[in-house]
Amino acid sequence: MACVLIAAATAKGISLNAHPTSADSADPVFAFIRSGTIQWLAIGLETTVAVSLMANMGPRFNALTLMGLGLAFLSYRAGLDFAGKATCSCLGHSSVTGLSAEASNRIAWSIIGAAITGSMAILFGVRTGKLPPDNAPPRFP
């Protein structure tokens, strides 16, 4: 999942640099903030979560961090739907990524679903004892 988050953040960063004028428009959810600012915040969040996942702070910490990111993106998606904008180029500008807005939308929903579902599965594994808690020493076979 860390690689997926890094790829998504990279696509957003390349798109923002390739099309700086699109970053000056008002965000559809937060009209008082520029779209580019929201994109840079998303890049920062994705990169921070990816680094924390790679640091392997423990299964519960990783699951909660990933679930937090998934829920934040789910909330933003709900705001887009409420604003009447069913799709967005949240994975980058279509001329850079080669993805249509619909394909980008489907991929974004897939990432959100995988983040939340995977986090719930990991938390269930920790709760049932199938995975060690965060403070357990490493187990070697």
Give burial (CB, 10 Å; 0-12/13-18/19+) of 64.
Answer: middle
Q: Given CA atoms 77, 82, 86, 89 in this order, what sign does their dihedral have?
A: negative
- According to the model, what pLDDT value does residue 46 have? 93
Q: Into how many domains does the chain fold? A: 1
Backbone phi, psi, residue 102, to 5°: -65, -45
Q: Are the C-beta atoms of residues 123 and 74 closer than 8 Å to each other?
A: no
Is there a domain that residue 117 lies in? yes
Rounded Cα gap, residues 108 and 114, in angstroms: 10
Q: What mean pLDDT value characterizes the chain?
A: 85
Host domain of residue 32: 2-128
Does residue 130 have a pLDDT over 60? yes
Give how far Cα 53 sits from Cα of 1, 2, 50, Å.
8, 6, 5
Does residue 58 lie in a domain region? yes
The answer to the question of residue 34 being in a domain is: yes
Banded model confidence at residue 138, pLDDT cuts 50, 70, 90: low
pLDDT in tens, 1-46: 889 999 889 988 888 888 777 788 888 888 899 988 998 999 999 9
Establish if 30 belongs to a structural domain.
yes
